[in-house]
Structure formats: structure tokens, C-alpha cells
Structure 1
């Protein structure tokens, strides 16, 4: 049976879904240093890639030389490294890989595919034949449609609220409708993260980089000189402001289309911060999908798995037909 893995490399986290597998890790790396305690923490495994050694994911978060970027070039450049880490944590090397790209970057999908077809990490050559790259937000639709097969033939807006981007895709009659697809760059939860960093700077005089502030956003607390400070009230206020602004932008652009929709399906990690602040007139229209941060990866996995199973069934039936024809030919002889 074909082994499949969906790896959504977002600006905030890498989300991974496979057969019985679901996990994520931060989309951050750090240069692996030569400090006096080098090798003390075995979890801080380094990875050799393109002539340098890096820490990847959680082990890089607190490293002084940690870095990330909201430039898609960064995702493309280090995609092989994030994939290698995903394979390692998943515990197997997949035969087929599904990935995603934000709607506004989707025209560059071939560049991403070429980048990961063949690469080397830790002296190990990795080959990924025929990777499949889906548009983000479309994965959310696949995920929702799989759970609601009786409701797919309607009109929907799919809203993918990521760390950096917000992607909008429309569905008509069960199919992705290209017209109206849109991406808001820099309008994801990075807005909340940056405002939270400003609040913390003003209140306790601690400066934070975005991914550190993102960790506090998820934890909803901050340790200062051994004392824990609760951030829930500040986050609730920032989430409300963010939601009002986001839906104001969407209403201005798609106001008339909202009236004709059966549902607005919301996924992506940012869905957690808008679900309790949906504008009153849209409350009955908006549906936040379960575990929204994994919805794209789940959809990519389901779509590729269905395609592979269909191919395997076709090949099996073809082989049976060939054998049957061969036996009939032998009998006639």
C-alpha cells in the first residue's frame, strides 16, 4: 500500500498528517552553534543542509540564532529541511507527499516541486517523486466535504486564517471556483502576535520577536522574574479587534456574495481567535472546522489518499482483465 504524508509548511508551523499521525512544529530554524554545552541536550539534533548545520523546529525556538521569515522564498529554500524533519518525526519515508501553498503564491508551485524532488540532508539523499501541491484553503474544503458529503453541492466561502496570510476560496456546486479567490498578505494572526508583543513591551518592558510572542499567544501566559502573568484578557481584546477588522475587510470586498452563501467555512490556526467574535449578522453563516490548524493538511491527505486508492483499484482491475483475456486466449488455442 502506498504510504502518504501531507505536510503543510506554513509561516507559523509545519502541520503534518498521515495514517494515524497528526503533529506540528514551528517553522523556525537556527544555526547550530559550538557553545560549551554543545551535545548536552540530545534533543537539539542538528541537520546538515546546503553546507551548514541547523536546528529545526522546537529546539530552534529558544536559540539565540533562531530565525524565520514571512517571505515565501524562505519557505521554498528550507522546504527540504522541514520535510526531512517531518519524515523523521512521522517515523517513515512516504511514497507520496502532499503540500500546500497560499493562494497568492500558488503560481509558484512548480518551483516548490522542483526544490523538493531531490535533496540531501545529513548526507542522505531524499527523492520525492511527483509531489502534489494544493492551494491552501482548498484543503479545508476537502476536509469539510469529507465530513459533510450531503452538503457539498452548495455555495461556500472557505476562509483559511494562517499565521501570515488569509486565503479566500469560493466553492460552487461542489467545485472550487477560481473567480474571487483572494489572499491577504500580512493579515493573518501575525497581526495579533505583533500587537501582543507591543502590549508586553509596554506592560513589562520585555521585547519579543514574532515567534516568541506566538508561543505566548498559544500559552496565554508569560513568566517574568519567576512570576506568571496571565494574558487571557489582553488576547481576548486583541482577538476581538482582529476579528472585527478582518470581517470588515471581507465584507467590503465580498459584501453582496455573503448573501448568496450557504456557509462560510473557517480553518487555519487563526480560526481559534475569531470563533468567539464573529459579527452578529454572520454568526449563523460562519462555521469553524474542528482542529482548524490541521484542516488543510487533513484535506490534502484525504485527497491524495483517495486519488492513490482510485489508481490502485484501476490498476488492480486492469491486471485482472489482462489475466482473464490471457486465459481466454489460451483456452481458445
Structure 2
């Protein structure tokens, strides 16, 4: 408690709260921004949560691990070691599950008990409505995060969300492409650029014209992403190893997709062929959706690929002669959200 109090006092003396951007995706929750000590913090957690208390306790016997309770009274367990809820539902970004994941991510990054300003995002199709910002949905996301989420784990505190802003995820990635870490222009913003953000559930396309406007005719969101890979691999692995009644935690699925190996029955099992086949199929689906909006993209300066799916589909950018893989694509949205709102703070 003394450490938490010190953090609170430090923030108060500075006269402003740390600013943290949160890319709260369906598969991963990424944080990028100022830590309580003023240094840049960068963290990624898998969005693995399930309603209820699932009995994960510490060896010390001092209570549950990863247990949260919302203002509505429901309890949720956040852990890679459980079979996660499927987050692919329409109002995920407005849900208690989303709120719990945001609070858990901030808490594990050192913001427990600390006042913090946050900026989160919405996919293109949720951020805009009839070519205008969907102010109602943006406000609903703010209100959802403003409602309480409380840790029920010993020694863990929830953060104090002082200010909540909401941006557009793919456009945030454009800001990351346009500005360097010093918030100075690093790429030509006078051209027309397409940002392709392949996330957990969705693939977002945002065509930015001259750094000032969005071409809604070629922008939008398709329901295909990394979680389709996880689902495909899960189905094939269960069939191969006859695991119909066994649940597989997200950590195990992530291991399989990242390494091509899965620890089952106490030993590693080669599933690289399954993973390669499923990744290829989902990548092809994502590319079809991108091509429906961009065609061959001949008139664009660049097609910039970002998001966890772009990192997984390593050769997808090569489908376009002007395709570019962003540096550290998984963090492009979070970095861009941070850069945009940090630049506004500077005036």
C-alpha cells in the first residue's frame, strides 16, 4: 500500500496523469504510454477471460488469481490457463468483459491504484456511421469503461480511470506511420495511404487521403482475423488427437500458432502442418476482403499492414507492389493512439 500511495503522490505533484493508449482487441490487449514513473511502458496480454471464479489460487493461499468483479456484481477470471470466452460478439467493445480486460491490463502494468488518462479504440465500422463519427457508440464505450471493475485478488488494485478518450483503430495506425516517437512527421502525409489492420476478429481498411480525410467508399471492416486461425487450428487439433471433451487454454493455442508445436499428454507434438494450412486459408480470406475494397491499389502511395494478423501473415504485404509491413505491427494502433493524444496535449 505504501508503494501505491507514493505513486498517487507522484502523479498529483506532476499536475497531470500518465497517458496510456490501450488497443483492446479481441485476441490481445496492448498497452503503450507513460508508466507511473514517467518512462514508456509497452505491454501485451492475451484477451483470455471467462465469466465466473475458476479456482486459480496462489501457493501462498492468500486468495484467487486474476479474479475481478464488475459493478453489475458478476465475477470474471482473467488467465491464459483457462479456456477463454469467445470475444467475437457484436458489442464486445461495450461489454463488461472488455472493461475487465482493460482494468486487468493496466493493473498488471503497474497502474493499480493510480490515476491514469487512457485512450482506447473502435474498429472503423463502429467508429463511423453514415460517414460521421458515431458519437453515441463512442460515448457508450466511455460509459462502459467508467463503470466499476474491482479486483478480488489479494494485493491487486484496479486503476483509477481519470479521463477516457476513444479513437479509430486503423486511423491511429496511420498516425503511427506518419509520426515518429518525437511526434515529428516521418512519412509523406500528402499522399493517399491505405492502412490494413488485421486484428483478432476483424480486418479494418482505412484509406486516408492527404492526411486529412478518409475515403469511406474504400474503407470498412470485415469479420476475419487471428481468432479464425485459432479456431481452425483448435478444430483440427481436437480431431487429430480425439480431444472432443478437452478444453484448451489460450496459452496452448498461442504456443501452437507461434511455434508449430503443442504440449499434449506431457510431450511436445508437431502441429506445424496444421498451423501452416489454416494460416494460409485465413490469410487468403483476409486478402480477398482487402482486395474487394482496394482492388490492385495502383493509385495508392502505400498499403501499410498493421495488427497481430499482419505479424502472423508475414508475406501478406507482398501481395501488393506498394505493400509495406509496419515496424512492430502489433503495437501500431496503441502507439498511434498514444502519439495522437500526446500531440494534442502538447498543443
For normalisation by structure 2, the TM-score amounts to: 0.77
Pairwise CA distance, 1:100: 0.5
Pairwise CA distance, 1:21: 0.6
Using a 3 Å threshold, how does the CA distance of structure 1 residues 141 and 41 change in structure 2: closer, same or farther?
A: farther
Query: Relative to structure 2, which stretch is displaced further, 130-139 or 37-46?
Result: 37-46
Secondary structure at the residue paired with 1:112? helix
Match of 2:191 among 154, 176, 179: 154
Q: 2:220 maps to what in 1? A: 182
Q: Distance in 2 between matches of 1:245 and 1:84?
A: 33
Match of 1:11 among 26, 29, 39: 26
Q: 1:100 maps to what in 2? A: 121
Number of residues of Structure 1 aligned to a counterpart in Structure 2: 302
- Long gaps (5+) in structure 1: 311-333
Are the equivalent residues in 2 in contact too, given 1:267–1:293 (CA < 8 A)? yes
Using a 3 Å threshold, how does the CA distance of structure 1 residues 193 and 126 change in structure 2: closer, same or farther?
A: closer
Using a 3 Å threshold, how does the CA distance of structure 1 residues 196 and 268 change in structure 2: closer, same or farther?
A: same
Q: Distance in 2 between matches of 1:264 and 1:161?
A: 13
Q: 2:314 maps to what in 1? A: 275
Are the equivalent residues in 2 in contact too, given 1:194–1:210 (CA < 8 A)? no
For normalisation by structure 1, the TM-score amounts to: 0.80
Query: Where do residues 1-333 of structure 1 align in structure 2 (5 Å cutoff)?
Result: 1=14, 2=16, 3-19=18-34, 20-30=40-50, 31-33=52-54, 40=61, 44-49=65-70, 50-56=72-78, 60-63=79-82, 66-78=84-96, 79-92=98-111, 93-106=114-127, 107=134, 108-122=137-151, 128-147=161-180, 149-179=186-216, 180-185=218-223, 187-207=224-244, 211=250, 213-255=253-295, 258-278=297-317, 280=319, 282=320, 284-310=321-347
Using a 3 Å threshold, how does the CA distance of structure 1 residues 14 and 41 change in structure 2: closer, same or farther?
A: farther
Are the equivalent residues in 2 in contact too, given 1:12–1:164 (CA < 8 A)? yes
Pairwise CA distance, 1:237: 3.1
Pairwise CA distance, 1:41: 8.0
Root-mean-square deviation (CA), in Å?
Answer: 2.8
